[in-house]
Amino acid sequence: MPANLPPEAKAKLAKYSEAKTPEEKIRALEEFLSAVPKHKGTENIRLWARRRLAELREEAEARRARRGGGGPRIFIERAGAGQVVLLGPPNSGKSSLLARVTNANPEIAPYPFSTQQPTPGMLDYKDIQFQLVDTPPLLLDQPSSPINNRVIGLARNANAVALVIGLDNPDPARTLVRLIEFLSERGVVITKSRGLVRIRRDRSVNGVKITGHGRMIGFTEDDLRRLLSQYRIYNAVVEIEGDVTLDDVEDAIFTTRVYKPAVIILNKSDVKGSREKAGEAVKAAPPDVPVLVVSTATGEGLDKLGEVLFNILEIIRVYTKQPNKEPDPDPLILEKGATVIEAARRIHKDLVKRFRYAKVWGPSAKYPGQRVGGDHVLMDGDIIEIHAY
């Protein structure tokens, strides 16, 4: 992007980033938009500013409505081993999917826009459950629709997303590409291969600190500091993952990008012509995102959903036990790569201080009941017995 903004436009943006209330932010953005020249080089940033303005106006509106009581239910509290938000264009079968694989009973209709409110349901997988959240449809051709902002908010808050596209769509491959692009423009990226920059402003940090495992492509730390200082960012932690350009850094000043693990669900495999369209969509999908071809009408392909979600969420199940007793049938859900001490922390934060050693049975144990320390890395299906002071 480097937008080559005139100094007064940059000053307005700085005012925006220093603003505390949505109302102040709205005013600063409006002033910014009138100060920025309209040409190709500023296209992205003007687009960003208009979107952010729409979101802020909506936030301000929602706050006014809440003061009046009630208000729409925007967030769904997480439950189970992971929250997965269903995203897709109208009529793709999001509600049908929720109804088919969970205990929930959402409205299903042959016309678009039948879903108005997010609705959760639980999907059983082995001895755990995933929470699926049905949402109102995304309107890919009406980017500034307030429905979109609400749904994106749900996606940002989730552990993973499922992109649901109907194979009765005239061009599912194109719709898929458009949907992924749409999400990325709003800061939700579904592939890790893309570089990710996070800028956290923090006055207690001395200068600009760069962390993470990423690579800076075509710029130096000095370039980065110079760019940030133009936006009056002097104290911050900049986290870099993957291959990152200076444009990506500038983008990150305006939007916080989040990575969400994803699965692509091509639904309605029972309709005529679906096989060929599914093939094209699979080709168009990012190589590191799994694709399921399913039919919520016949049930085809849906038996794989639980396993795919388990894999993309990168979690493990660990069973705790007391000495001379059977393991607890409800596992702890931990991130892949978690250690014994993290399991202890999950049980009780006091247990970390009192920890002595643990005994482990299962995939990570060299032999049943192996005695290990706090840094022992656990695996899915392990059983642990923690010994404390």
Residues that bind ligand GTP (CB under 6 A): 88, 90-96, 108-110, 112-115, 137, 267-268, 270-271, 295-297
Shortest Å, Cβ 382 to Mg ion? 39
Shortest Å, Cβ 56 to ligand GTP? 26
Closest to 240 measured CA to CA, from 208, 279, 197, 176: 197
**Binding-site partner at residue 175 among ligand GTP, Mg ion, none, CB < 5 to 8 Å by type:** none
**Binding-site partner at residue 90 among ligand GTP, Mg ion, none, CB < 5 to 8 Å by type:** ligand GTP
Measure the CA–CA gap between 227 and 249, rounded to whole angstroms.
9
Measure the CA–CA gap between 17 and 34, rounded to whole angstroms.
17
Nearer to ligand GTP, 164 or 332 (CB): 164
Task: List the interface residues with Mg ion, window 90-109 (CB under 5 A).
Answer: 94-95
Nearer to ligand GTP, 151 or 315 (CB): 151
Task: Using CA atoms of 44, 7, 35, 145 in order, give the dihedral in degrees to the nearest 10.
Answer: 30
Measure the CA–CA gap between 157 and 75, rounded to whole angstroms.
8
Measure the CA–CA gap between 223 and 212, rounded to whole angstroms.
18
Q: How many Cβ atoms sit within 10 Å of the Cβ of residue 106?
A: 20
Shortest Å, Cβ 114 to Mg ion? 5
Contact segment (CB under 5 A) with Mg ion among 54-62, 65-73, 110-118, 169-177 equals: 110-118
Nearer to ligand GTP, 108 or 289 (CB): 108
Shortest Å, Cβ 290 to Mg ion? 23
Place of tokens 């995933």: 130
Residue 262 · residue 311 · CB < 8 Å:
no
Residues 114-153: x where in contact with Mg ion by CB under 5 A, - otherwise, as a string: xx--------------------------------------
Residue 281 · residue 306 · CB < 8 Å:
no
Would strands 128-134 and 119-125 be described as parallel, antiparallel, or unpaired?
antiparallel
Shortest Å, Cβ 302 to Mg ion? 17
Nearer to ligand GTP, 272 or 366 (CB): 272
Nearer to Mg ion, 95 or 296 (CB): 95
Residue 38 · residue 46 · CB < 8 Å:
yes
Closest to 84 measured CA to CA, from 173, 190, 197, 166: 190
Residue 219 · residue 246 · CB < 8 Å:
yes
**Binding-site partner at residue 242 among ligand GTP, Mg ion, none, CB < 5 to 8 Å by type:** none
**Binding-site partner at residue 274 among Mg ion, ligand GTP, none, CB < 5 to 8 Å by type:** none
Radius of gyration of the chain from Cα atoms? 24
Task: Using CA atoms of 174, 261, 240, 75 in order, give the dihedral in degrees to the nearest 10.
Answer: 100
Judged by DSSP in three states, 276 sits in helix
Nearer to ligand GTP, 196 or 263 (CB): 263
Shortest Å, Cβ 201 to ligand GTP? 37
Nearer to Mg ion, 94 or 376 (CB): 94
Tell how far CA 388 is from the center of its chain: 37
Shortest Å, Cβ 105 to Mg ion? 12
Nearer to Mg ion, 114 or 230 (CB): 114
Interacting residues toward Mg ion by CB under 5 A: 94-95, 114-115
